[in-house]
A and B are shown apart, each in its own frame.
Chain A
Amino acid sequence: MANVSLQQIGKSYGGSVAVEAFNLEIRDGEFLVLLGPSGCGKSTTLRMIAGLESITTGDLLIGDTRMNNVDPKNRGVAMVFQNYALYPHKTVSENMGMALKLQKMPKADIEERIAGVADMLGLTDYLERKPGSLSGGQRQRVAIGRAIVRTPEVFLFDEPLSNLDAKLRVKMRMELQELHDRLGVTSVYVTHDQVEAMTLADRIVIMDGGVIAQVGTPREVYDKPATEFVAGFIGSPAMNFMTMQLASDGSWSSTESTLVLPELPGFDTRGADTVRVGIRPEHMTILDASAVGDDPWVLPGKVMLAELLGADALLTLSVCGEIMTARVNGVGYPEQGQQLAVRLNPEQLHAFDRESKKALQV
């Protein structure tokens, strides 16, 4: 086990920059998730740790050794690939044992290790099978087994669950979590799926356009998104955003609708007269239309669309002409076309600088 340190790591292909000035200390035994949309540089970062991509600038340390120019096999890392990358002509056991065989480990030791890992992953009955005759979930287990057998310092996962169907994905996610609890090996996990990130991660690194947008625990990135991008990326359905302008009486009015909000609760707007205000669909309270009145945070609205998800329902609302999504209980929610009132909970508002997109501090 080891900590991983990325210091000013950068990657560029010719003129185009894929990853820029990436600084991160991954703690020993931590489960770190790199999250972001496709093309944000998360896979490139992972592949630089693996040694499959060269590092253009900066230093990579695993343990306390600089690994920039070390062969992948000598970095003490093992990788689980998105498409499993199992050798199709070799048996499960041969797939799992390949690295050890190449290290010239005695055959009996290899077999013993494979047997142990196969037992842990429920693969014992499949050891002599070829990957082609296994199901997607079994193949994924073999790919994970191949990584475990090597007893690496660091596990690297490159979107390992994205080829599985939804049900299996949930199951494997739990297995991965169990496995990490049991082995306690430092893990770096790349995904574009925020549910995987939220459930698996000790800390999430959210990347956007080759740079880190935020590093934090799942709780932190959800509660205190550092940028508008993070705020919009984490949470489903996405946060509602409004562009608000300061009026002379201290209230804020939307530039796109007739929505007016009272003085924003304590945000340091640094004198800016236009900010982006965000609120999550789950932080809006639906009230009866008659509730509009005394409380300036209660606004009149109309249901444009109501969608039942099961436990929850999503309402697409027009609030003073501003289109917003609210998440409500799936039982007894208002119908399409109904007039109502919405309370935006002021303590759960977010505000972002219009230019820098950074969160404004309270």
Chain B
Amino acid sequence: MNAFNTLERRTQFVGIGFVTPTFLVIALILVYPVVQSIVLSVGQSSVDGFEPYQFVGLEHYAALMEDDRFWRSLSVTLIFTAISIPLELMIGVGLALLMNESFHGKGLARLAVLFPWALPTALNALIWRWMYNADYGLFNAIGLESGLVSEPVNWLGDETLAMASMVIVSVWKTSSFMALIILAGLQSIPRDLYEAGRMDGMSRWQEFREITLPLLKGSIMVALIIRSMDALRTFELPFSLTDGGPDSATETLSLYAYKVIFEFVEFNAGSAIVVVQFAVIFSLSLLYIFTLRNKD
């Protein structure tokens, strides 16, 4: 018994020894920036370090509460997330189901579906910005030629349309990512369950509802967590598509924080925005994790 305990303790030490380097690296690159942001957000400092750091408490947060542009960017972020994620999920599930069927040129189709996701967001945004262009853009050309519209639509110039345009680009780009994760989930469902379903007399729709969907729950959850964290942090898309316009109708939290920090050079106020954003994403993740755990 005693020997066993010693052995167990030794194994534990070895284990801790192996984990420590990784743990330190993660702490350095993950925990340090978070702590630093929090420290910055409750103080006042200057870029050149001319004025020493001064603790000011929640002053910047109080200012944020009064800041309409902050509230607007928060709501833009939430609306963007709330609209694009469900759309991505539905299209992603559809694509995954298609890709899971066997047909000729399946490999090519999978590659094609992944293409938008493989392109850098900034590049995507530029392509779409050109297609949205009010004077020379593809959409207006089609619209005008076919007589669907009588005058050019200013896609990125109208507040609602700009948001819709941004959602479309995001859905186009990331549905394939959802599809990929869900496809992996689909492929892990044993085929004989569907055969049992056929013997039981399920229709295709019942197969989907009784077998596929419940067994995909895990993959869907994972896809949702990853994608909603992404969406809540969206930066490049509005940055290169609309620059947050018109009139900050597409200005996300990240973009606003960026502007406050790098354009207004307000490190401390900007950090406060970043910390709020962190809190939102963190609590959402916790929510997801707990619902996942309760399901099991």
Interface on A for B, CB 8 Å cutoff? 50-52, 71-74, 77-79, 81-83, 85-89, 98-99, 102-103, 146
Cα distance, A99 to B193, chains bound together (Å): 13
The A/B interface has a contact count, at CB < 8 Å, of: 52
Using known A-B contacts A87-B210, A89-B215, determine if residue A73 contacts B195 with beta carbons closer than 8 Å.
no
Query: Do the beta carbons of B215 and A85 come within 8 Å of each other?
Result: no
Once the chains bind, are B199 and A78 in contact (CB under 8 Å)? yes
Instruction: Assess whether B201 is in contact with A73, with CB atoms less than 8 Å apart.
Output: yes
The interface on chain B, measured as residues whose beta carbon lies within 8 A of the other chain's beta carbons, has a size of 15
Q: How distant is the Cα of A74 from the Cα of B200 in the complex, in angstroms?
A: 10
Report B-chain residues with C-beta under 8 Å of the C-beta of A146: 196
Interface of B, secondary structure class, is helix
Residue B190 CB within 8 A of the other chain: yes
Known: A89-B214, A102-B206. A73 touches B198 (CB 8 A): yes
Report which of A77, A81, A88, A98 forms a contact with B215, defined as CB distance below 8 A. A88
In angstroms, Cα B198 to Cα A79, docked, is 10
**A151 nearest CB across to chain B (Å):** 14
Given contacts A88-B215, A89-B214, A89-B215, contact A81 B192 (CB under 8 A): yes
Determine whether the beta carbon of B201 is less than 8 Å from that of A52: no
Q: Are A71 and B201 in contact (CB under 8 A)?
A: yes
Query: Residues of A contacting B201 with CB < 8 Å?
Result: 71-74, 99, 102-103
Q: Would you call B195 and A52 a contact (CB within 8 A)?
A: yes
Given the complex, which residues of B lie within 8 Å of A72, measured CB to CB? 198-199, 201
Please encode chain B, from 190 to 228, with 1 for each CB lying within 8 Å of some chain A CB and 0 for all others: 101101101111100010001100110000000000000
For residue A42, give the distance in angstroms from its CB to the closest CB of chain B.
17
Contacts A74-B201, A79-B195, A99-B200 aside, 14 further interface pairs with beta carbons under 8 A come to A72-B198, A73-B201, A77-B199, A78-B199, A79-B199, A82-B192, A85-B192, A85-B195, A85-B196, A98-B202, A98-B210, A99-B201, A102-B200, A103-B201
Chain A residues whose C-beta falls within 8 Å of the C-beta of B211 in the assembled complex? 87
Other-chain contact of A81, B195, B206, B210, B214 (Cβ < 8 Å): B195
Distance to closest chain B CB from A80 (angstroms): 10
Which residues of A sit under 8 angstroms from B202, Cβ to Cβ? Answer: 98, 102
CA distance A85 to B215 in the complex (A): 13
B199 touches A73 (CB 8 A): yes
Contact with A along B167-207 (1 / 0, CB 8 A): 00000000000000000000000101101101111100010
- Least distance between B23 CB and chain A CB atoms (Å): 33
Q: List 15 A-B contacts (CB under 8 A).
A: A51-B198, A71-B198, A73-B199, A73-B201, A77-B199, A79-B199, A82-B192, A83-B190, A85-B190, A85-B196, A87-B210, A88-B215, A98-B200, A99-B201, A103-B201
Contact A87 B199 (CB under 8 A): no
For residue B198, which residue of chain A has the nearest CB? Answer: A72
Please report the C-alpha to C-alpha distance between residue A89 and residue B218 in the assembled complex, in whole angstroms: 12
* Contact pick for B193, options A52, A74, A79, A85, CB 8 Å: A85
